[in-house]
Copies of this chain bind each other. A is one copy, B any other.
Amino acid sequence: MKIVVLKFGGTSVGTIKKIKKVADIITEYKNKKYRVIVVSSAMSGVTNELIKKSFEISDNFSSSEHDVLVSSGEQVACSLIAGRLIHKGYRSRSWLSWQVPILTAGSHKNSRINQINKNKIMKYLKEGGIPIITGFQGVNKENRITTIGRGGSDASAIMIAKFFNAERCIIYTDVEGVFTTDPNKLTRAKKIKVISYEEMLEMASLGAKVMQPVSIQDARLNRIDIEVKSSFIKKPGTLITKRSNIINNKIVTGITSTQNDSKVSLIGVKDKPGVAASIFKPLSKNSINVDMVVQNISANGKETDLTFTIKTEDLNKTKKIIQQNKSIKFRKLILKKNVSKISVIGVGMIATPGVTFRMFQALANKKINIQVISTSEIKISVLIDKKNTKKALVALHKEFKLDNRK
C-alpha cells in the first residue's frame, strides 16, 4: 500500500473548525486506501505568542529552552487532530518527535533532521493507524528537544516522506498553489499545474510564500514529489517534481518581480585582480546580501565600472562601508533606489533559442529601459525602474503566453 505524507501549516490548523476540516481531508486519503502520515505545524499565532513570552522573560532567552517552549505548539495541534480522527471513528494518535524518534543534529533553534526511526511508525501504519507527527522538531543525541531552523514543518514532512519512501508529500497551506506570477500584482496570473524543483527554486521570491527554498532543495535532493494545495478550497494544487516528469515544458513557467531593490554603481574602479573582493568582503562581513553584479571594462582599459544590487534597507549601511573603507578606490559612487528585478523562469528556455531577445523586445516595445542583465541556465533577470514593474509584468506575461495558460 502506498504511503502519502500530508503536511498542514499553521493557518490550516488555525482554529477548531479548520482542524475538523483537516481531519476530513485526512480521512479522504485514508478511505482511498493510502497509508497516511500526517505532519502538523502549531496553530497559527501560537508560536509567535510563545516567542513573545520568552522575550518578556529575557532579551537573551536560552536557545535550548526556546525549543522546549515553542515545540509545545505542535504538540497541541497534533493531539487535537488525532482526537478529531478518533472522534470520527478512525485509529489515530499523536506522535511527538521523541516518541518516533526523529533525531536531529546541529544547534538549538537551527537543527537538521538526521535520522528517523521507522520501526514504530511502520508498525502503527500496518495496524491501520494514522500517525500525527509533530513538525518543526526533533530530539538531539542528548535527548533534548530541538527545532528545525530553516524550512520548519515543511522540512519535517519532506524528510519523513524520504525516510518512509512516500509516493507523494502534500503541503496543505492557505494558498491554492504556485502562480505564473504574484496574483496580487497581476490578476491574470494563472496557477501552475506542474513545475520543476529548479524552476521553483528560481521562483523563490514567489515560492517563499508557499515553501521555503531550503525545503524545495531537500525535496529535489531526495526526489520527493511535492504537491502544494489549499486546505480551504478543494482544487488541484501545484505539483513540484523533477524535470523529466514534466511532459510539456513551457518555455517560460513563471515571472517574478522584486519590490525593494537598490542599485549601487562604482565608477572608475582600478581594473586589477582582487578589487571586486576588496569591495564585497566588507559587505559580506556586515551581512549585506549582494544580488546582481555586473562589471564592464571601461574605454581606456585601465578602469572598470562595477554595478550591483542590494536590498534598499541596506543602502545607507552599504554607502557608509564603501566610503569609509580606504582600500576601496573609485572615482564616483552612484546610488539608485527604486529599481526592480524582473525574472522570467523556465526549464524550456534551455532548448529554445531567442528567449532573451523576445524578453528584451517585449520590454523595448513598452519603452522600458533595461539597466542590468543577468542570466542563468533557466532564468533571465533584468533590472528596470520600479515604476515600470506592472507594465513589464503585463507585457512579459502576455509575450510568453501565460495569460491563457491552462
Contact A57 B84 (CB under 8 A): yes
> Is A232 engaged at the interface, CB distance under 8 Å to the other chain?
no
A84 to B144, CA, bound (A): 18
A79 to B63, CA, bound (A): 10
> Is A310 engaged at the interface, CB distance under 8 Å to the other chain?
no
The residues in A between 109 and 128 inclusive whose CB is less than 8 angstroms from any CB of B are none
The residues in A between 55 and 90 inclusive whose CB is less than 8 angstroms from any CB of B are 56-58, 60-62, 64-66, 68-69, 71-72, 75-76, 78-80, 82-84, 86-87
Contact A68 B57 (CB under 8 A): no
Contact A60 B87 (CB under 8 A): yes
Contact A99 B62 (CB under 8 A): no
Q: Which residue of B is nearest A71, CB measured?
A: B75
Instruction: List, in ascending order, chain B residues with CB within 8 A of A249's CB.
Output: none
Contact A16 B80 (CB under 8 A): no
A54 to B79, CA, bound (A): 9
> Is A39 engaged at the interface, CB distance under 8 Å to the other chain?
no
Contact B75 A62 (CB under 8 A): no
> Is A50 engaged at the interface, CB distance under 8 Å to the other chain?
yes
What is the minimal beta-carbon distance from A188 to any residue of chain B, in angstroms?
41
Which one of B54, B58, B62, B84 lies within 8 Å of A58 (CB-CB)?
B84
Contact A16 B87 (CB under 8 A): no
> Is A19 engaged at the interface, CB distance under 8 Å to the other chain?
yes
Instruction: List, in ascending order, chain B residues with CB within 8 A of A143's CB.
Output: 99
What is the minimal beta-carbon distance from A352 to any residue of chain B, in angstroms?
53
Instruction: List, in ascending order, chain B residues with CB within 8 A of A93's CB.
Output: 64-65
A86 to B62, CA, bound (A): 7
A98 to B75, CA, bound (A): 14
Contact B76 A69 (CB under 8 A): yes
Among the interface residues A65, A82, A84, which one has the most CB atoms of the partner chain B within 10 A? A65
The residues in A between 260 and 290 inclusive whose CB is less than 8 angstroms from any CB of B are none
> Is A219 engaged at the interface, CB distance under 8 Å to the other chain?
no
A71 to B96, CA, bound (A): 12
Contact B53 A80 (CB under 8 A): yes
Which one of B19, B75, B78, B83 lies within 8 Å of A75 (CB-CB)?
B75
A87 to B76, CA, bound (A): 27
Contact B61 A83 (CB under 8 A): yes
Contact B69 A79 (CB under 8 A): yes
Which one of B57, B69, B75, B86 lies within 8 Å of A16 (CB-CB)?
B57
Contact B62 A83 (CB under 8 A): yes
Instruction: List, in ascending order, chain B residues with CB within 8 A of A76's CB.
Output: 50, 53, 69, 72
> Is A94 engaged at the interface, CB distance under 8 Å to the other chain?
yes
Instruction: List, in ascending order, chain B residues with CB within 8 A of A243's CB.
Output: none
Instruction: List, in ascending order, chain B residues with CB within 8 A of A72's CB.
Output: 72, 75-76, 79
Going nearest first, the 10 A-B pairs with the smallest beta carbon separation are A58-B87, A68-B79, A72-B72, A69-B79, A65-B83, A16-B56, A65-B79, A62-B86, A72-B75, A57-B83
